[in-house]
């Protein structure tokens, strides 16, 4: 049967902040993500329409929520079951079911997803009692696991964001610039610049990896040129200097690097290695990873005190002072624990993604085979 046979579909409307201010009242105005935009004196349903289901008409398509109290809706549609179908359709099951339907029928414009009322109304659903019962059991298990994974992941992220407390016998403090060198940006390595310079990339024996303000991506590759500010054959820390991620740090293993205007690189000052007890390449890598962990909060605080979208690295490493920390085995232990947390976080993300895939799929249920 079609959705419109069992449900009345009401299209939500656009409510401005000014309208809410002028018409203040007791009824919450729900958004597509089921948050409350404000309160006013109008409502989109009556008491005998409850419970019902709401879903976003644009953006966030693939979500549905059961409502049990009077409300109005901003860019949010409402599904109200007709009286004769209230006992035949389990709303909890249907709210779980709708995301997989929406992902199948949504349209897109300018990168924003839309749910057309007429298409929703014409969609065929199976309201067989056996189907509802078993699909509900299936969805509940998936969402239970998904919520557990998300809760674990929040704790992992919280642990990773905590600031390291340094207990050191070293009374001497030093500026970061005393132990670290920075490699300047290259204004010529814009997207167009990389494109022009990489034409003969295959013929070059020395290739430079170009880093930008994107933490998880390589910006491009270019042949090595004398005019570039480069870091060759060394591990380093990438520091984002512009944009929403300004001040973010990432460790980069030994390689040949240059940056565009959105990042700079930090490496160990060669003259300080002996004093820092960095007598092997392995210790240098651990030390840099440790600094990457330790400096996250100082860098964030430094950025917050100035322009939030710009991180002046060359100035920051003069201003920020730390204990003159020499390499020790505890650094290796701390780095190992942070690496484990990062791996667990990635594992949780992969599991959540797989569960989302299962939730979004249309189920085929029969009495002989049900997972």
Task: Specify whether 99 is located in the same domain as 28.
Answer: yes
pLDDT digit string (tens) for 135-160? 999 899 998 999 999 999 999 988 88
Task: Specify whether 91 is located in the same domain as 55.
Answer: yes
330 within domain boundaries:
no
- What local confidence, expressed as pLDDT, does residue 62 receive? 66
33 within domain boundaries:
yes
- Burial class (CB within 10 angstroms; exposed 0-12, middle 13-18, buried 19+) of 45: buried
What's 307's domain CATH number? 3.90.220.20
* C-alpha closest to that of 30 among 9, 44, 49: 44
331 within domain boundaries:
no
- What local confidence, expressed as pLDDT, does residue 365 receive? 43
Instruction: Name the residue range of residue 215's domain.
Output: 173-325
Domain boundary among 291, 306, 325: 325
Task: Specify whether 30 is located in the same domain as 85.
Answer: yes
Task: Specify whether 305 is located in the same domain as 188.
Answer: yes
Domain count, the chain: 3
Task: Specify whether 321 is located in the same domain as 200.
Answer: yes
Task: Specify whether 301 is located in the same domain as 194.
Answer: yes
pLDDT digit string (tens) for 234-289? 999 999 999 888 999 999 999 999 999 999 999 999 999 999 999 999 999 999 99
The token duo for 363 is 């189920």
49 within domain boundaries:
yes
Kindly give, in sequence order, each residue whose CB lies less than 8 Å from that of residue 267, ignoring residues fewer than 6 positions away.
Answer: 180, 181, 182, 183, 231, 234, 235, 236, 237, 288
Task: Specify whether 30 is located in the same domain as 99.
Answer: yes
Task: Specify whether 280 is located in the same domain as 197.
Answer: yes
Helix (H) or strand (E) holding 157: helix 129-161
Task: Specify whether 54 is located in the same domain as 113.
Answer: yes
Task: Specify whether 202 is located in the same domain as 320.
Answer: yes
pLDDT digit string (tens) for 62-100? 689 999 999 999 989 999 999 999 999 999 999 999 988
Asked whether the predicted pLDDT for residue 202 surpasses 90, the reply is no
291 within domain boundaries:
yes
Task: Specify whether 242 is located in the same domain as 364.
Answer: no
Q: Is residue 15 within 8 Å of residue 29, measured between CB atoms?
A: yes
Task: Specify whether 101 is located in the same domain as 117.
Answer: yes
What's the pTM value of the predicted model, to 2 decimals?
0.69
Domain boundary among 108, 123, 138: 123
């Amino acid at each position: 049967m079609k959705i419109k046979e069992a449900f009345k579909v009401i299209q939500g409307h656009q409510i401005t902040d000014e309208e809410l201010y002028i018409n203040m009242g007791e009824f919450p105005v729900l958004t597509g993500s089921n948050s409350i935009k404000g309160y006013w004196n109008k409502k989109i349903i009556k008491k005998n329409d409850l419970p019902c289901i709401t879903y976003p008409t644009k953006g966030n398509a693939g979500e549905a929520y059961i409502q049990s109290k009077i409300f109005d809706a901003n860019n949010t549609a409402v599904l109200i079951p007709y009286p004769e179908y209230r006992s035949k359709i389990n709303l909890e099951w249907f709210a779980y079911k709708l995301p997989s339907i929406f992902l199948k029928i949504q349209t897109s414009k300018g990168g924003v997803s839309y749910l057309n009322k007429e298409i929703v109304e014409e969609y065929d659903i199976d309201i067989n009692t056996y189907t509802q019962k078993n699909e509900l059991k299936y969805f509940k298990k998936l969402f239970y696991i998904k919520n557990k994974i998300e809760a674990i992941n929040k704790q992992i992220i919280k642990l990773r964001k905590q600031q390291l407390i340094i207990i050191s016998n070293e009374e001497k403090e030093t500026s970061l610039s005393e132990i670290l060198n920075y490699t300047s940006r290259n204004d010529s390595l814009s997207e167009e610049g990389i494109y022009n310079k990489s034409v003969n990339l295959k013929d070059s024996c020395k290739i430079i990896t170009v880093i930008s303000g994107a933490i998880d991506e390589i910006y491009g590759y270019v042949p090595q040129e004398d005019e570039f500010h480069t870091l060759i054959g060394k591990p380093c820390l990438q520091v984002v200097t512009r944009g929403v991620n300004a001040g973010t740090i990432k460790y980069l293993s030994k390689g040949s690097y240059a940056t565009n205007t959105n990042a700079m690189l930090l490496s160990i000052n060669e003259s300080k290695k002996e004093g820092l007890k960095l007598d092997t390449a392995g210790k240098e890598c651990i030390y840099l990873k440790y600094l990457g962990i330790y400096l996250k909060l100082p860098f964030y605080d430094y950025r917050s005190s100035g322009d939030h979208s710009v991180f002046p690295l060359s100035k920051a490493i003069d201003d920020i002072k730390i204990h003159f920390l020499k390499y020790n085995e505890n650094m290796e232990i701390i780095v190992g624990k942070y690496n484990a947390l990062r791996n667990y976080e990635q594992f949780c993300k992969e599991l959540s993604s797989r569960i989302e895939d299962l939730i979004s799929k249309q189920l085929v249920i029969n009495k002989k085979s049900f997972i």
